């Protein structure tokens, strides 16, 4: 598997880069038996998955303490965020219902010595309880569901002030038309740094408005 460190990953400290390299190697081994990522992206994990995840950090701000990643799958963006930015004062929670992927995430956490809280179950079943105990500052998702569905799933966190960071591919504009414009959310579109035409949809829970950055 090619280990091509791009500009974003190259900006983090060497120790955390090494943990990402361990993650990359684990992904290559597990991919042979568990479908974790699209086969076309296996040879470019650093750019297609690691860099894509890291670009969310500036949008989260510097003061976040609790981050929840929905439908984490192979750990993008949640596990990457935990490796790159997690510390004793920051916790990343990952939620997925696929037990094989949960097993993979637990191994990555263990092998990279990364603090991460990993939850098994359907988002709609586990997130409301989590949000009642924990004040989440950020909620993220990548390649999970249409935007309107993501906003519904993330509602328990958005209504308490979390910022939603949702990575969307080239079909993002069609999904915006299905989002109810009821004045309850604010949507900002940020250009992806890793995929021309893709967007990061930034959602905050007040005063619905859409603009491009």
The alpha carbon torsion through 173, 177, 178, 183 (nearest 10 deg) reads 120
Low-confidence ranges of the chain (pLDDT < 50): 1-3, 207-213
Given this model, what pLDDT does residue 9 score? 56
Given this model, what pLDDT does residue 92 score? 98
Tell whether omega for the bond before 77 is within 30 degrees of 0, i.e. cis: yes
**Residues spanned by the domain of 93:** 7-212
Residue 192 lies in a domain: yes
Residue 2 lies in a domain: no
Residue 121 lies in a domain: yes
Given this model, what pLDDT does residue 143 score? 86
Residue 72 lies in a domain: yes
Residue 42 lies in a domain: yes
Provide the CATH number for the domain around residue 71.
3.40.50.150
Q: At what angle do helices 78-85 and 99-111 cross, to 10 degrees?
A: 10
Q: What are phi and psi of 137, to 5 degrees?
A: -90, -30
Given this model, what pLDDT does residue 21 score? 94
Given this model, what pLDDT does residue 211 score? 43
Q: How many folded domains does the chain comprise?
A: 1
Given this model, what pLDDT does residue 185 score? 86
Residue 158 lies in a domain: yes
Residue 53 lies in a domain: yes
The model carries a pTM of: 0.89
Residue 1 lies in a domain: no
């Amino acid at each position: 598997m090619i280990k091509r460190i791009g500009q974003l990953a190259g900006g983090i400290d060497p120790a955390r880069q090494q943990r990402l390299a361990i993650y990359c190697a684990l992904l290559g081994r597990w991919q042979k038996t568990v479908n974790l990522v699209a086969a076309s992206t296996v040879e470019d994990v650093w750019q297609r998955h690691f860099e894509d995840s890291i670009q969310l950090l500036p949008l989260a701000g510097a003061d976040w303490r609790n981050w929840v990643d929905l439908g984490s799958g192979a750990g993008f963006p949640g596990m990457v965020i935990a490796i790159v930015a997690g510390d004793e004062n920051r916790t990343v929670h990952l939620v997925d219902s696929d037990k094989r992927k949960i097993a993979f995430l637990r191994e990555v956490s263990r092998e990279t010595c990364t603090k991460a809280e990993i939850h098994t179950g359907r988002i709609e079943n586990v997130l409301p309880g989590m949000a009642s105990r924990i004040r989440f500052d950020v909620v993220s998702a990548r390649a999970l569901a249409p935007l309107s569905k993501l906003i519904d799933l993330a509602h328990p966190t958005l209504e308490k002030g979390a910022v939603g960071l949702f990575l969307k591919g080239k079909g993002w504009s069609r999904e915006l038309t299905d989002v109810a414009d009821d004045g309850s959310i604010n949507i900002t579109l940020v250009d992806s740094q890793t995929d021309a035409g893709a967007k990061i949809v930034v959602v905050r829970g007040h005063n619905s408005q859409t603009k491009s950055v």
